[in-house]
Amino acid sequence: MNIRIGQPPPPRPPPRRPPNRAIVLVAVIAAVIIIPAVGYVAITALGVLMRPAAPAASVNGTPAPANQFSLGQLAGWRGTERVNVLVLGIDQRPKEDPNIARSDSLILLTLDPVANTAGMLSIPRDLYVPLPGRNTQDRINVAHALGGPKYAMQTVEYNFGVPVQSYVRVNFNAVVKLVDLLGGIDVYNEEDINDLSYPDMSFGYDPFRLKAGWQHLDGVTALKYARTRHGSSDFNRMRRQQQVVLAMRDKALDSGALAKLLPQAPQIYQTLRDSIESNLSPLELAQLAMLARDIPSERIARVSIDETATQYWTTPQGASVLIPNRDKIRELRDELYNPKPVVAVAGTPAPGKIVIQNGTQIKGLAASAQTALQTKGFTVARVENASGNYKKTVLIDYHGRKTYIQQLAAALGVPISEVVTRLEPSNPMDALVILGDDFKAP
């Protein structure tokens, strides 16, 4: 599977490119498929939402479902093989044929009904790969424009060595509506954003600003948060994209939020009928969601083909692309298929240094957390006050030390979903813990 392209020049930062218009759209369907639905109401709402526009037969020949699925239908998934779904976020312009649009966002979703695991692999649009049957190489996002979803699936399968049975394709409209229907989402913004070049819908500019810290985002702002290129690369955008997926999942775990979807299902359907296409039937999507409902967060892998698995290169035509490190990508694929369980803290944890900040009005909370961690063998370099008040605790990973961060999160009782990766190789600290109002000292 290795490719030879000649000796690329030393790595260099890519030039700033205009923000794409679909970077977060995959979050919608990714969240829908891996959300562990809360009860029958949630799945019924999902089924109505995903009903095809035409009342004719579904793609596999079965009649279109009624307004509700029975419990027997929902529990009807009989497959034991792993299911892989390619989610395509396309940059479709008004009146443009969706089959010729480039897929500016790609996520490979996987669900193993036997091992009870799931995962999502973010694929950068500039990954330079061989195109099957064409004796040429190009960016991976070109595949959809050349042959639609089917050829995009073939290209991913050819380059990653995994079967891809299904796809979900979405354009721009879905994320705003669904985030709003969930009542908004909460994300931790790592730094102030002041993007004066954020694009509007008319090829102009719509400046976007967002303060650092925990933020509650409506649909429009969530879209902007994931699309902005302020001070970041496509790799950082992929991380924010997964952050939005998990934030939607967390919000959907609130049965109250999900219950609100059912009475609004007709409006949801009318809004999204032209925004979503799949070769999975609504019933199949609902059954997959039922399969995934009991998968714990720590058994959902979050993997990205990032700067550790690629190298910048300029083609002879002057295009800036990413050359894949095939050995590293195979490791990521294995991690996607086999999520590592959270390591329980036993004995002395791996060496590392931690900063703890108190983001609450409770005096001495950081000192209490420091004592608890030191008792378990962690090294706390210092404690201090945060710059503001935080409703939720956040754990920031500076060096991508997954096992260490899992140990730290388990010791603090912080969900893995609240971990933010901010790679800073020169930072002498391994992690920053900002305590919020939800924190309870171990």
Structural domain contains residue 3: no
Q: Which amino acid is at 295?
A: I
The string of pLDDT tens digits covering residues 208-228 is 899 888 889 998 898 888 878
pLDDT of residue 79: 74
Domain boundary residue, one of 304, 337, 370: 337
The token pair at 368 is: 């209490």
Domain boundary residue, one of 313, 337, 361: 337
Asked if residue 224 and residue 81 are part of one domain, the reply reads yes
How many independent structural domains does the chain possess? 2
Q: Identify the weakest region by mean pLDDT among 146-155, 191-200, 301-310, 355-364.
A: 191-200
Structural domain contains residue 305: yes
Cα 82 to Cα 115: distance, rounded to the nearest angstrom: 9
The string of pLDDT tens digits covering residues 236-270 is 777 777 788 778 877 776 656 655 665 565 566 56
Give the CATH number for residue 240: 3.40.630.190
Asked if residue 409 and residue 265 are part of one domain, the reply reads no
pLDDT of residue 203: 67
Instruction: Enumerate the β-bridge partners of residue 170.
Output: 89, 276
Count helices and strands in the chain by DSSP H and E runs:
13, 19
Q: Is residue 66 over pLDDT 70?
A: no
**Model confidence band, residue 94 (pLDDT cutoffs 50, 70, 90):** low
For residues 388 and 136, which has the higher predicted lDDT (pLDDT)?
Answer: 136
Helix (H, G, I), strand (E, B) or coil at 46: helix
Asked if residue 311 and residue 403 are part of one domain, the reply reads no
In this prediction, what percent of the chain has a pLDDT beyond 90? 19
Cα 111 to Cα 291: distance, rounded to the nearest angstrom: 9
Least Cα distance to 23 among 226, 217, 204 occurs for 226
In this prediction, what percent of the chain has a pLDDT beyond 70? 66
Structural domain contains residue 327: yes
Give the CATH number for residue 412: 3.30.70.2390
**Model confidence band, residue 34 (pLDDT cutoffs 50, 70, 90):** very low
Asked if residue 419 and residue 301 are part of one domain, the reply reads no
Asked if residue 325 and residue 384 are part of one domain, the reply reads no
Q: Return the number of other C-beta atoms located less than 10 Å from residue 295's C-beta.
A: 20
Structural domain contains residue 21: no
Asked if residue 167 and residue 87 are part of one domain, the reply reads yes
Structural domain contains residue 301: yes
Structural domain contains residue 165: yes
Structural domain contains residue 348: no
* Average pLDDT for 159-177: 83
DSSP state of 44: H
**Model confidence band, residue 272 (pLDDT cutoffs 50, 70, 90):** low
Alpha carbons within 13 A on the beta-carbon side of 368: 12
Cα 195 to Cα 16: distance, rounded to the nearest angstrom: 13
Asked if residue 190 and residue 124 are part of one domain, the reply reads yes
b/e map 377-396, b = 16+ CB within 10 Å: ebebeebeebeeebebbbbb
Q: Is residue 314 over pLDDT 60?
A: yes
Would you say the C-alpha torsion 78, 84, 87, 88 has a positive or negative sign?
negative
Q: How far is CA 169 from the centre of its chain?
A: 15
The string of pLDDT tens digits covering residues 332-357 is 998 888 876 544 444 456 678 899 99
Alpha-carbon distance values, 340 to 288, 332, 344, 399, 409 (Å):
22, 12, 12, 18, 14
The string of pLDDT tens digits covering residues 320-338 is 999 999 999 999 998 888 8
Would you say the C-alpha torsion 240, 243, 245, 247 has a positive or negative sign?
negative
* Average pLDDT for 297-303: 78
Cα 371 to Cα 393: distance, rounded to the nearest angstrom: 17
The token pair at 8 is: 């690329």
pLDDT of residue 264: 61
Cα 336 to Cα 110: distance, rounded to the nearest angstrom: 8
pLDDT of residue 322: 93
Asked if residue 321 and residue 186 are part of one domain, the reply reads yes
* Average pLDDT for 371-377: 87
pLDDT of residue 267: 61
The string of pLDDT tens digits covering residues 140-160 is 989 988 998 999 999 999 999
Structural domain contains residue 318: yes
Query: Residue 405: is it exposed, middle or buried by C-beta count within 10 angstroms (0-12/13-18/19+)?
Result: buried
Cα 17 to Cα 80: distance, rounded to the nearest angstrom: 43
Least Cα distance to 198 among 172, 218, 224 occurs for 224
Phi, psi of 358, deg, nearest 5 = -95, 110
Phi, psi of 126, deg, nearest 5 = -90, 10
Asked if residue 326 and residue 422 are part of one domain, the reply reads no
Cα 262 to Cα 41: distance, rounded to the nearest angstrom: 7
pTM exceeds cut of 0.85: no
Asked if residue 315 and residue 369 are part of one domain, the reply reads no
**Model confidence band, residue 288 (pLDDT cutoffs 50, 70, 90):** confident
Asked if residue 322 and residue 425 are part of one domain, the reply reads no
Q: Return the number of other C-beta atoms located less than 10 Å from residue 424's C-beta.
A: 12
Instruction: Provide DSSP, 157-216.
Output: HHHH-----EEEEE-TTHHHHHHHHTT-EEEEE-S-EEETT-B-TTSSB--EEE-SEEEE
For residues 131 and 285, which has the higher predicted lDDT (pLDDT)?
Answer: 131
Q: Identify the weakest region by mean pLDDT among 111-115, 148-152, 167-171, 213-217.
A: 167-171
Domain residues for the domain of 199 are 26-337
Contact between residue 101 and residue 92 where contact means Cβ atoms under 8 Å apart: yes
Domain boundary residue, one of 277, 302, 337: 337
- Identity of the highest mean pLDDT range in 27-31, 47-51, 56-60, 337-341: 337-341
Q: Is residue 47 over pLDDT 80?
A: no
Asked if residue 310 and residue 250 are part of one domain, the reply reads yes
b/e map 73-87, b = 16+ CB within 10 Å: bbeebeeeebbbbbb
